[in-house]
Amino acid sequence: MTKNRFQSKGSGAGLGNLLNRSLQFSGSPSDQSSAELPHQLPVESLQPNPRQPRRYFDSAGLLQLAHSIREQGVLQPLMARPLEDGRYEIVYGERRWRAAQQAGLISVPVIVRSLSPAEVDIISAVENLQREDLNRFDEVTSKLNLVAHHFGVSVESAVVLLKQLRNDPGSAPEQVQVLEQLFAQLGREQWTSFVTNGLPALQLPATLIQAVQSGRLDYSKAVLISRAPQRHHADLLQRVLTEELTHADLRLAIAELQPTLHNEPVLEQLKKNISVRRLSKLTELQRTRALKLMEELNDLLK
């Protein structure tokens, strides 16, 4: 069941048209009167959108949905766009399509629209963001797709742009205003918070991403685990899942993995050796190398 989480207050006209149009395409209840009648299409004629940001489908949830579909049918139609080979690419409703196959259905109701790949991407992102059960990783991916689409850049470039604007918002006030308007419609967080707390989701290791997408691991705990040495990730993940560690428990477990730095001989030796007098005795090449290493260590400790 899709629930509209978008807000219209304080949104710019262009962005409002953009998201409203996507909501209309996605069969939003606010536009039911203008929605076309669905066609019954064979399930084998449909194929998933390879760019769909939501890639994980809980097997238990699919089984439950398949049972419901077997009894009541597919209550909400899918949307698909026609392809050149006579097949159809799913714009949204892949979960219903998968469950319908499990239920043994031969055909499903589908609203067919001629859309460009770019339009498919934005509608998929909007439709995903309306779902309250969306995990944090897929939410970040969907929002980032919308940002990239609106600025006409790649997802990778959108990440760079967001970080640049967060660090220096005065460099492009018009772009900042666009982001404020967009995230006002998306709700839940401001764009600056998204950059700080959302974008790190993209840097999580694959095993942690999979656990977050499956709903087994809370996103904030995944971030904590990612900060530990990589060799401990699998063990920490297993402990969180089996022992149901709280955030405090997880922080303690990670802290216990860290070496007691003040007892390390190497650190004590560095304290003795790093001085202006000792650096002055080095050759110019050695001194340049030492200063560079000290700068790198300083940056790392920050």
Measured distance CA(101)–CA(42) in Å, rounded: 10
Span 214-225, pLDDT tens digits? 888 999 999 999
pLDDT at 58 over 80: no
Query: What is the predicted pLDDT for the residue at 20?
Result: 55
* Helices vs strands, H then E, count in the chain: 15, 5
Judged by average pLDDT, the poorest of 87-96, 178-187, 258-267 is 258-267
Percent of the chain with pLDDT over 70: 83
Burial label for 138, CB within 10 Å (0-12, 13-18, 19+), is: buried
pLDDT at 96 over 70: yes
| Host H or E run for residue 161 | helix 155-167
Query: What is the predicted pLDDT for the residue at 54?
Result: 67
Q: What mean pLDDT is predicted for residues 250-263?
A: 74
DSSP string, 119-138: HHHHHHHHHHHT-TT--HHH
Q: DSSP strand E in the chain: where?
A: 39-42, 46-47, 78-82, 88-92, 107-112
14 — pLDDT class (breaks 50, 70, 90):
very low
CA nearest to 46, candidates 107, 90, 92, 101:
90
Measured distance CA(87)–CA(52) in Å, rounded: 17
Query: What is the predicted pLDDT for the residue at 138?
Result: 87
Q: What mean pLDDT is predicted for residues 57-86?
A: 89
Number of other residues whose CB lies within 10 A of the CB of residue 13 = 8
Q: What mean pLDDT is predicted for residues 249-278?
A: 75
Query: What is the predicted pLDDT for the residue at 289?
Result: 87
